Amino acid sequence: MNPLHLSILQTDLVWEDPNVNRQLIEAQLQALPAGTHLTVLPEMFSTGFSMNPTQLAEGMEGETVNWMKRVASDKRCILTGSFMAKEGDQYFNRLLWVLPNGQIGQYDKRHLFAFAGEDQHYTPGNKRLIASVNGWRIHLQICYDLRFPVWARQRSTYDEDGNFHPEYDVLIYVANWPERRSEAWKTLLRARAIENQCYVVGVNRIGVDGHGINHSGDSMIISPIGDILHHSADRNELHTLTLDPVMLQETRERLPFLRDADGFMILSDELPE
């Protein structure tokens, strides 16, 4: 593992206007520092958290995916964030992990926010995605997933020589989390970092959406012991921070709490039909 140069974009989103959002985001990414390994955008960055996928969802050959490929190539970094995806007659809140060479990983949001009717419009995902960059293992999740710690919990293993191996090093949440529940957002992000002994990155939007719901941002980068390394106030901000692998390793060696964790198994990542 080498140091990981990570950039997060906290921004307002124009309601249900993918063309304008892509243009505004790309303009902000002009300030992206050279050498950035990974850039993180909010949940549904092209539309806001809309329940209108019949009009706005795109296929994997659509404009938003092609835009992500182009930007990742131009900036020579991995680009991640979620959008409305369509496959056949199903819709997904899908996070993409787009490499500069055009390769794509994907994660479909597992926990759909029934309180806002998300479960009535989208199909839940059934598999976790742990990607890698620069020697780091990155676990990718979306917004409401934050409230369900089992889905994020480290499934650490021992190799045949008895060496201990945590499953991942960074846990990322992209979100449209409302201001009215911002304390839960900030508290749960720190909890996920402490219990999994990993860096946690939470990237939220700002501004008022089409339902009149305000978002205060509060994007955060948190250390493996729960210290807040960066907190974005309620403003547009592109922030870059370098994650230190030495600090991560020393924390896990000095405080080997994961070795004492209860053994468990998710019997199936597949949801029932």
Q: What is the CA radius of gyration of the chain?
A: 18
If you average pLDDT over residues 22-38, what whole number do you get?
Answer: 97
Please answer whether residues 182 and 215 qualify as being in contact, where contact means their C-beta atoms are separated by less than 8 angstroms: no
Give the tens place of pLDDT for each residue, 81-130: 999 999 999 999 999 999 999 999 999 999 999 999 999 999 999 999 99
**Residue 271: which pLDDT band, with cuts at 50, 70 and 90?**
very low
Two tokens, residue 113:
């926010």
- Structure tokens, 211: 């339902």
Q: Residue 94: its pLDDT value, please?
A: 98
Confirm if 96 and 112 have CB atoms less than 8 A apart: no
- Residue 69 bears catalytic tag: no
Model confidence at 34: pLDDT above 80: yes
Tens digit of each residue's pLDDT (9 = 90 or more) over 190-215: 999 999 999 999 999 999 999 999 99
Query: How large is the average pLDDT for residues 240-245?
Result: 98
Please give the backbone phi and psi of residue 232, each rounded to the nearest 5 degrees, phi first: -90, 125
> Looking at the predicted structure, is the pLDDT value of residue 69 above 80?
yes
- Does 266 score more than 70 pLDDT? no
Residue 227 has pLDDT above 70, yes or no: yes
Tell which phi-psi region holds residue 75, choosing left (phi > 0), alpha (psi between -120 and 50) or beta.
Answer: alpha
| Tokens coding 160 | 């045949």
- As a whole number, the mean pLDDT across the chain is 94
Note if 143 is an active site residue.
Answer: yes
* Prediction pTM value: 0.95
Dig out the tokens for 45 from the structure.
């960055």
Find the range with the poorest average confidence among 71-80, 81-90, 163-172, 216-225. 163-172
**How many residues are present in the chain?**
273
Mean pLDDT along residues 161-184: 92
Q: Categorize the per-residue pLDDT at 269 as very low, low, confident or very high, splitting at 50, 70 and 90.
A: low
Which of 43, 75, 77, 198 is the catalytic position? 43
- Strands 129-133 and 78-87: what pairing? unpaired
CA dist 215 and 196 (Å) reads: 27
Catalytic residue among 58, 109, 118, 198: 109
Residues of the chain with pLDDT > 90: what percent?
89
pLDDT of residue 7: 98
Q: Supply the pLDDT for residue 272.
A: 41
The C-alpha angle 242, 141, 10, rounded to 5 degrees, equals 55
**116-165: per-residue pLDDT in tens?**
999 999 999 999 999 999 999 999 999 999 999 999 999 877 777 767 78
- The H-assigned helical ranges of 38-101 are 53-56, 63-75
d(CA 70, CA 51): 27
Give me the residue spans of the domains in the chain.
Answer: 4-260
In one-letter notation, the amino acid at residue 135 is G
Do residues 15 and 212 make contact, with C-beta atoms less than 8 angstroms apart?
A: no
Between 266 and 105, name the one with better pLDDT.
105
Q: What's residue 260's pLDDT?
A: 85
pLDDT tier at 267, thresholds 50, 70, 90:
low
43 noted as active-site residue? yes
CATH architecture group of domain 4-260: 4-Layer Sandwich (3.60)
